[in-house]
A and B are shown apart, each in its own frame.
Chain A
Amino acid sequence: MPAARRLLAAATLLLVLAGCATVPKDPAARAYYQQTNDPLEPTNRVFYVVNDALDTVLMRPFALAYHYGTPQFFQDRVHNVLANLDTPVVLANDMLEGNPRRAGDTLMRGLINTTIGLVGIFDVASGVGYPAHAADFGITLGVWGMPAGPYLYLPVLGPSSPRDVLGFGGDYALSPFTWFGKGYAMQDFGYARMGLTAVDTRARFLSDLDKIKAQALDPYATLRSLYRQHRESQIRDARHDAPASVPAWYPQPAK
């Protein structure tokens, strides 16, 4: 076993080293190279091609069947339940980001949607002044000032960065489902949740991804740019959340 692991490690290292892009000599080209910050581009592109093939034969057909085979009403309910299961992680990250307003929103969302919303099937909270927002440990690290680092395109998971890989691990550690509940039922629940999340996420990006693949001349670069911009805007939103404002549902003070 150790030999196999050593072999795997060596193969990974070789792949990474072989996959390093050469830095261009032309100043304008070098500025572009530094701006894209994608030194592992050759390796990343290999994984992009692999993922794209997997997506074409597996994930996209699944997502299409789900999208056209089930009513929109059902899909929305599934999405709400999955989002509700994330509430503890979102709450923890809101607090780590130092956003008491957002943490309050998330707490109320969890309480309202889990009870009146029937374990999250209905998003009642959004309608009464507690809108959803994005929070994960990758965003938290960004709020703390950690740079994203070079672009990563991961097998199966897709666009990422060292910061978001850390974030992925952080969210896993922050989730109560990681620590509480053992046994086959819990295990099955975990797999079902993972599978449903994958299908739900892919289905929500169906038309967007189809458009990108049809219109972009270099879909890899377009996705890279979109992913980075989107993450940065989520971090900006988390950083500039006004923590001392009065909630919309509370009587407004006289100005």
Chain B
Amino acid sequence: MAATTRRNLLTASLAVAAAAPAALPLPARASTASDTAFLKSLGEQLVAVVNGPGATAAKQAKLQALIDQSVDVTGIARFCLGRFVRLATPQQLATYMQLFHGVLMRSVTGHLGDYQGVSFSIDKSLARDGGTLVYTTVTRPNSAPTKVEWLIDQVDGAPKIEDVIAEGTSLRLTQQSDYASFIARNNNNIGTLIEAMQKQAASQ
């Protein structure tokens, strides 16, 4: 009796395991290709906005819209807060998320002029940590080509940017160590980070 149940269970689980890949919306390999296509299209749109005509303010608004739909801002914000995510009150977390969104937007749209004439090429892409790492070379006039890697993952069924790694330095890792050190030096008080971020937002 027990043996039969076990065998039935085994058969059932095997059947589920066999059916699972077909049931998933995208097999792993296809998602590497589609993530790469996502980045290619996004990169082309970004380059078109940066190098295109129009006033700076209009360009910034366009960039902001692109970032909102293609970057996992909430995920990156949580990563950057690191171990303090668990220690923050819901109110603190909500305020932080809002401030972080502003920090990210300012750091991307604040130096538009530096990127005039930018172009990029995709070198290769690899599956990594359940997502895709797309290797690109970004070229700007009058400066050496920069190697930039983009970590892309599926969030709620849509591809989103999770990290940008420029010349081997990860954006979210660097930001995380900045926040962690700041909070640690202020008696592990998350409130001081929020105050500092508010002050920074007001001064820019």
- A-side residues, CB < 8 A to B, are 28-29, 31-32, 36, 72, 207, 211, 215-218, 220-222, 224-226, 229-230, 232-234, 236-237
Contacts and interface: CB of A to CB of B under 8 A. Distances in A.
A121 B105 CA distance: 40
Interface in B152-204: 167-170, 173-174, 177-182, 184-185, 188, 193, 196-197, 200
Contacts of B167: 230, 233
Contacts of B181: 36, 218, 220-221
Contacts of B180: 32, 221
A217 B193 contact: yes
A232 B197 CA distance: 30
A217 B177 contact: no
A229 B174 contact: yes
B106 to A, nearest CB: 8
Nearest to B84: A28
A229 B168 contact: yes
A72 B178 contact: no
Residue among B169, B181, B196 with the highest chain A CB neighbour number at 10 A? B181
A230 B83 CA distance: 24
Contacts of A32: 83, 180, 184
Interface of B: 83, 103, 107, 111, 114, 142, 167-170, 173-174, 177-182, 184-185, 188, 193, 196-197, 200
Given A229-B169, A230-B168, A217 B179 contact: yes
A211 B111 contact: yes
Nearest to B204: A214
A229 B173 contact: yes
A101 to B, nearest CB: 18
Sorted nearest first, the 7 A-B pairs with minimum C-beta distance are A233-B168, A221-B181, A225-B177, A217-B182, A229-B169, A218-B181, A218-B182
A31 B82 CA distance: 12
B184 A29 contact: yes
18 contacts: A28-B83, A32-B184, A36-B177, A36-B181, A207-B114, A211-B111, A217-B197, A217-B200, A218-B178, A218-B181, A221-B178, A221-B181, A222-B177, A229-B170, A230-B167, A233-B169, A234-B168, A236-B168
A207 B156 CA distance: 37
B111 to A, nearest CB: 7
A97 B197 CA distance: 44
B142 A72 contact: yes
A31 to B, nearest CB: 8
A89 B15 CA distance: 61
A216 B178 CA distance: 7
